Amino acid sequence: MTEFLNNILFIFQRLNWLSVIDIALVTLTFYILLYLVRDTQAMVLLRGIIFLIVLLALLTALVDLPAFSWLLRTSLPALLLAIPVIFAPEIRRALERIGRAGTFIAVNTRREDAEIQASIQSIVNAAERLSMRQHGALIVLQRLDSLNEYIGTGVVMDSRLTSELLLQIFYPNTPLHDGAVIVKGNRIAAGACVMPLSASGILVRSPERQMGLRHRAALGISEVSDAITVVVSEETGSISIAHAGRMIRRLDPDRLENILNAFYRPEQRQKNFFQRHFPYLFPRQND
């Protein structure tokens, strides 16, 4: 015990500010890696790999097995090369998130502002009425990432976005109700589109079991793109929104509208903040 304490004291005596920064960077790197693979199948694989490494390390440390130790040393480079292959989807998703960091939809003109507001209002109105009727719906709102590959899986419409058209599309047993509607700006690009299903365990661990393929598809498209997905449950009528692999559930129309505005009008929210707290920066214009 005394030797152990002496070793700990020796380590702390050699610490300096550069060592602290070095340790902090390593800790931050591992934290980011674990944060990116959380709630995915990669986390299960990572646990298995860590358990196997710890088991093999204990085995070779406690028992003298020279041949087995040589096998582990020679096979380690091959295992390192296999990691990018095993975790390829998670690595791709992490690089996409890094590439999209800091991007947003900018509102440049009054016309664009009015079109976005009208589109949001149409989606909110349709979601509210679909929720009251318990008609399932999946509405995908394209942002910066192109969704052309998913548009090709459905029926191209190129129609003006209205709440009435959304209600008609998702009316039960109609030709286009089974699938997703992709919205580009103020137009419906396509209906009955096939979305990728989420491979994360978020829905599996949910205490409620009313979330099926429609919610998995909403999460799936949000994991592979920056799209925003509005989903209405057919069983409960609950409204949810998915973005970046996360889902906000049990929304009312007001909260849904506020969230959509927050995603599509960040510059306007920032301007309103400064106008409210620093009014002298925005002098009134004479009529």
Q: Is beta strand 239-243 parallel, antiparallel or unpaired with respect to 246-251?
A: antiparallel
Phi-psi region of 21 (alpha: psi -120 to 50; beta: other; left: phi over 0): alpha
For the chain, the distance separating the N- and C-terminal CA atoms, rounded to the nearest angstrom, is 82
Answer whether residue 184 is part of any domain: yes
Mean pLDDT across the chain: 77
Cβ neighbourhood burial of 196 (10 Å; 0-12, 13-18, 19+): middle
Pair (137, 76) in one structural domain: no
Ranked by mean pLDDT, which of 41-50, 99-108, 119-128, 260-269 comes out on top? 119-128
My answer on whether 85 and 221 are in the same domain is no
| Residues 81-103: b if buried by 16+ CB within 10 A, e if exposed | eeeeeebeebbebbeeeeeeeee
Mind listing the pLDDT tens digit for each residue in 141-170? 998 888 888 999 999 999 999 999 999 999
Say whether both 85 and 56 belong to one domain. Answer: yes
Residue 280 located in a structural domain = no
Domain check: are 73 and 121 in the same one?
no
Residue of 181 and 73 predicted with greater confidence: 181
Question: In the beta sheet, which residues pair with residue 137?
Answer: 232
- Please indicate, yes or no, if residue 284 is contained in any of the structural domains: no
pLDDT reported for residue 183? 93
Residue 202 lies in a domain: yes
Name the residue among 264, 195, 253, 190 with its Cα closest to residue 224.
Answer: 195
In a domain, 287, yes or no: no
In a domain, 148, yes or no: yes
Pairing state of beta strands 137-141 and 228-232? antiparallel
Q: Give the range of the structural domain holding residue 215, as residue numbers without chain letter.
A: 110-273
Number of domains in the chain: 2
- Domain end marker among 69, 100, 131: 100
Q: Tell me what percent of the residues of the chain surpass a pLDDT of 90.
A: 25
DSSP string, 159-217: EE--HHHHHHHTSTTSTTSSSEEEEETTEEEEEEE--PPP-SSTTTT-S-----HHHHH
Q: Domain holding 154: CATH number?
A: 3.40.1700.10
Cα(129)–Cα(78) distance, integer angstroms: 56
Task: Describe the chain by its helix, strand, coil percentages, rounded to 5.
Answer: 55, 15, 30
- Within a domain: 248: yes
Q: Based on the domain organization, do 77 and 167 belong to the same domain? A: no
In this structure, what is the dihedral angle of CA atoms 221, 223, 226, 230, given to the nearest 10 degrees? Answer: 50
Residue 234 lies in a domain: yes
Quick one: 197 exposed, middle or buried, by C-beta within 10 A (0-12, 13-18, 19+)?
A: middle
Confidence check: pLDDT of 275 > 90: no
Q: Are residues 37 and 118 in the same domain?
A: no
Tens of pLDDT, residues 188-233:
999 999 998 886 666 655 554 556 788 889 988 988 888 899 999 9
Where do we find the tokens 């003298």?
Answer: 64
For range 226-243, the mean pLDDT: 91
Long-range contacts of 39-46 (CB under 8 A, 24+ apart): 39/200, 39/201, 39/202, 39/245, 40/90, 40/199, 40/200, 40/201, 41/199, 41/200, 41/201, 42/87, 42/89, 42/90, 45/86, 45/87
Residue 281 has pLDDT above 60, yes or no: no
Identify the domain boundary among 100, 122, 151: 100
